[in-house]
Amino acid sequence: MLRYIVGRLLAAVPIFALVGIFIFSLVHLMPGDPAVLLAGDNANPKQVEKIRERLHLDQPVIVQFGIWAGNALQLDLGDSVYSNQPVTKLIAQRIEPTMMLAVVTLVITVLIAVPLGVIAAWRANGLADRLIMAFAVLGFSLPVFVIGYLLVYVFAVRLKWFPVQGYKPLEDGVLATLHSLTLPSVALALVFAALIARVTRASMLEALNENYTRTARAKGLGTFRILVVHALKSAGVPVITVIGIGFATLVGGVVVTESVFNIPGIGRLTVDAITRRDYPVVQGVILFFSALLILINLLVDLSYALFDPRVKG
Amino acid sequence: MPDNSIADLRPRQGFQPSRLIGWVGREPMTASCVAVLLFFVLVAIFAPLIAGDPIALNPAERLTSSSESAIWGRDHLGRDVFARAVYGTRTSMLVGFSVAGLTTLFGVAIGIYAGMSRIGGAVIMRLNDAMMAIPAILLAIALASLMNAGVVTVIIAITLPEIPRMVRLVRSVVLGVREQPYVAAATSIGTSGLAMVWRHILPNTLGPVLVQATYACASAIIASAVLSFLGVGTSPEVPSWGGMMADARSYFRIHPELMAYPGALLSMLVLVVNILGDRLSDALDPRKTRRGSL
């Protein structure tokens, strides 16, 4: 078990290093002077010079990367060109709304998608299955901002049940936060749920064809017990994998959703940074999300051991 | 008068209406999706014949609803919404098909190499894992914002993060095919590397690749709309559905239809492409015998 965990941790290191190289080269391989690029369109020569100095652009590229990566490892992602604040501080300030949005979305997704996937597999090829799969293709195809504006129009503009946009921080009370996050997380969850429901169905179908399911049925166990205790537990591995892989989709969705609903999170920070050509922030945010993604997939790998006794070696 | 007797003896080839009707009857869902997709393709090709000028400003009639000159009304600059939606189809189709094509081209080439070469494969798969660790849409946004605005930029920015998925798929197929007895047989009679790839490996990847390319097309259409919506996509003069929705944001409460037209078209096109991808995947999967409607 320990060997498995250490092995997974070590495997994540080179991936993380490569991601760092990619993100570093994003700005440095582009044609033109990186200092001018990083300073943005509205910079004066003095600002450009400051950035050139800060990034050691007179040094060889390898040295520059070493300095950048060394700083990044010490959680120093540079300063914003726009507000001159450290990028890590900007990210830290914006993390609450984004985290809440992601968590609420994930909860709604699992609550919708797993039962739907189980029902679809149980009633495979029946009417319920077809309806659920139709919903899945639909959810998969509707862009999150289209769903977002549709929900806003119906539930905020017309019915006035929820605010049109904005975010209430946790200090205003959890209920206020959840109320302000309902529409954005439902919009985001629909897309994500479509993905999870499909995978749940597929892996449930496989589990239901296994011998142990037949044994369970032969023992006289009830349908619910077979579905939930026996089949769902082994179907858990692929489902959790997809929740991990789908996290990338979720991050993309968060960026768009925060923009639609005007939520002051990291997604909003990204879009604002791009509009202002604030590249240190863009670089920092991408590095942050990639690190998070690697971490989540690491946790997913480790959770295999929980679901699949064969992975304990 | 031409002699038809010889022509009649030839095996019947080409278009046969009865077979088409039979297929539509058996697969109504697939057939209607193909029809809708064809409709979009035709709209994209013949945009100048269908709609008027999508760029012309008409400030006197800004934010007016449907009229004789503009059946879907006019936007905040007085531009013809219908014309913009029609030309927006072009942008979406161009990006969708280009990304699908380029992803297939590079993904298959790199994937086959990664599957055939032991050391090269290991290196490529590590790079692949790292690429896939960066959220695709963020990478696309960053690339698009670093390069100059334009359709080509958008296509490159969306294709680059899409390639690793194709590479991973193709490589897994190649690794499976390499173990097949017919590959061993071909090796034993002296088939060389390239001939092997061309005759035995490549044809086996086509099915899964086609399905993946369809999904790539659908997600590229969404991604290009997202880029335009966030303001880093095609330049504002080029009409695009995402750009139209971005413009409509400020007037959303009073004029939700400005958002609804491009949103509905976008969703419909993506839905149709995704359903066709599913159908293709079912049809190419020998384990699935299920046929019937969605």
Q: Kindly state whether residue A55 falls inside one of the protein's structural domains.
A: yes
Q: Kindly state whether residue B4 falls inside one of the protein's structural domains.
A: no
Q: Return the top range by mean pLDDT from A107-116, A156-165, B95-104, B221-230.
A: B95-104
Q: Is the predicted pLDDT of residue B294 greater than 50, yes or no?
A: no
C-alpha dihedral, A60 to A64 to A66 to A70, nearest 10°: 160
Spatial separation of the C-alpha atoms in residues A269 and A255, rounded to whole Å: 9
Q: Is the predicted pLDDT of residue A310 greater than 80, yes or no?
A: no
Residues in CB range of B261: below 8 A, 6 or more apart: B72, B81, B82, B85, B244
Answer whether B47's CB lies under 8 Å from B86's CB.
yes
Q: Which residues in chain B are closer than 8 Å to A15, comparing Cβ atoms?
A: 126, 129-130, 133
Split into its structural domains, chain B has a count of 1
Q: Kindly state whether residue B5 falls inside one of the protein's structural domains.
A: no
Residue A62 sits in the same domain as residue A152? no
In this prediction, residue B166 carries a pLDDT of: 93
Q: Kindly state whether residue B12 falls inside one of the protein's structural domains.
A: no
Q: Is the predicted pLDDT of residue A198 greater than 70, yes or no?
A: yes
Domain span at B112 = 28-58+68-286
Q: Kindly state whether residue A260 falls inside one of the protein's structural domains.
A: yes
In this prediction, residue B100 carries a pLDDT of: 95
> Which pLDDT tens digit goes with each residue over A38-93?
666 667 777 777 777 776 777 777 888 888 888 888 888 888 877 888 889 999 98
Mean pLDDT value across residues B10-28: 69
Answer whether A116's CB lies under 8 Å from A107's CB.
no
In this prediction, residue A40 carries a pLDDT of: 66
Q: Is the predicted pLDDT of residue B54 greater than 60, yes or no?
A: yes
Residue A33 sits in the same domain as residue A153? no
> Which pLDDT tens digit goes with each residue over A280-304?
888 888 888 888 888 888 888 777 7
Q: Mean pLDDT across chain B, nearest whole number? A: 83
Residue A103 sits in the same domain as residue A252? yes
Answer whether B85's CB lies under 8 Å from B259's CB.
no
Q: Kindly state whether residue B270 falls inside one of the protein's structural domains.
A: yes
Exposed/middle/buried for residue A57 (C-beta within 10 Å: 0-12, 13-18, 19+): middle
pLDDT confidence bin for B77, thresholds 50/70/90: confident
Answer whether A289's CB lies under 8 Å from A297's CB.
no
Q: Which residues in chain B are closer than 8 Å to A293, comparing Cβ atoms?
A: 133-135
Q: Kindly state whether residue A154 falls inside one of the protein's structural domains.
A: yes
Judged by CB atoms within 8 Å, which residues 49-108 of B form the interface with A? none
Q: Kindly state whether residue B14 falls inside one of the protein's structural domains.
A: no
Provide the whole-model pTM: 0.85
- Residue A13 DSSP one-character state: H
Residues in CB range of A13: below 8 A, 6 or more apart: none
Here the CATH number for the domain that contains residue B261 is 1.10.3720.10
Q: Kindly state whether residue B254 falls inside one of the protein's structural domains.
A: yes
Residue A23 sits in the same domain as residue A68? yes
Q: Kindly state whether residue A79 falls inside one of the protein's structural domains.
A: no
3-state secondary structure chain B: CCCCHHHHHCCCCCCCHHHHHHHHHHCHHHHHHHHHHHHHHHHHHCHHHHCCCCCCCCHHHCCCCCCCCCCCCECCCCCEHHHHHHHHHHHHHHHHHHHHHHHHHHHHHHHHHHHHCHHHHHHHHHHHHHHHHCCHHHHHHHHHHHCCCCHHHHHHHHHHHHHHHHHHHHHHHHHHHHCCHHHHHHHHCCCCHHHHHHHHHHHHHHHHHHHHHHHHHHHHHHHHHHHHHHCCCCCCCCCCHHHHHHHHHHHCCCCCHHHHHHHHHHHHHHHHHHHHHHHHHHHHCCCCCCCCCC
Q: Kindly state whether residue B2 falls inside one of the protein's structural domains.
A: no
The C-alpha of A190 sits at a distance from chain B's nearest C-alpha, in angstroms, of 14
> Which pLDDT tens digit goes with each residue over A224-275?
777 777 777 777 777 777 777 777 778 888 888 998 888 999 988 988 888 7
Q: Kindly state whether residue B7 falls inside one of the protein's structural domains.
A: no
Q: Kindly state whether residue A216 falls inside one of the protein's structural domains.
A: yes
Residue A149 sits in the same domain as residue A236? yes
In this prediction, residue B290 carries a pLDDT of: 43
Mean pLDDT value across residues A195-215: 82
For A15, name the nearest residue in chain B, comparing CA atoms only. B130
Q: Is the predicted pLDDT of residue B195 greater than 80, yes or no?
A: yes
Spatial separation of the C-alpha atoms in residues A197 and A299, rounded to whole Å: 21
Which is higher by pLDDT, A8 or B124? B124
Here the CATH number for the domain that contains residue A120 is 1.10.3720.10
B126·A141 Cβ contact <8 A: no
Split into its structural domains, chain A has a count of 2
Q: Kindly state whether residue A81 falls inside one of the protein's structural domains.
A: no
Residue A155 sits in the same domain as residue A262? yes
Residue A117 sits in the same domain as residue A68? no
A274·B145 Cβ contact <8 A: yes
> Which pLDDT tens digit goes with each residue over A169-193?
878 888 888 888 889 999 999 888 8
Residue A24 sits in the same domain as residue A142? no
Mean pLDDT value across residues A85-109: 90
CB-based contact (8 Å) between A29 and chain B? no
In this prediction, residue A31 carries a pLDDT of: 63
Judged by CB atoms within 8 Å, which residues 47-66 of A form the interface with B? none
CB-based contact (8 Å) between A293 and chain B? yes
**Closest C-alpha among B292, B286, B294, B285 to residue A129:** B294
Domain span at A16 = 2-73
pLDDT confidence bin for A311, thresholds 50/70/90: low
pLDDT confidence bin for B291, thresholds 50/70/90: very low
Which is higher by pLDDT, B187 or B68? B187
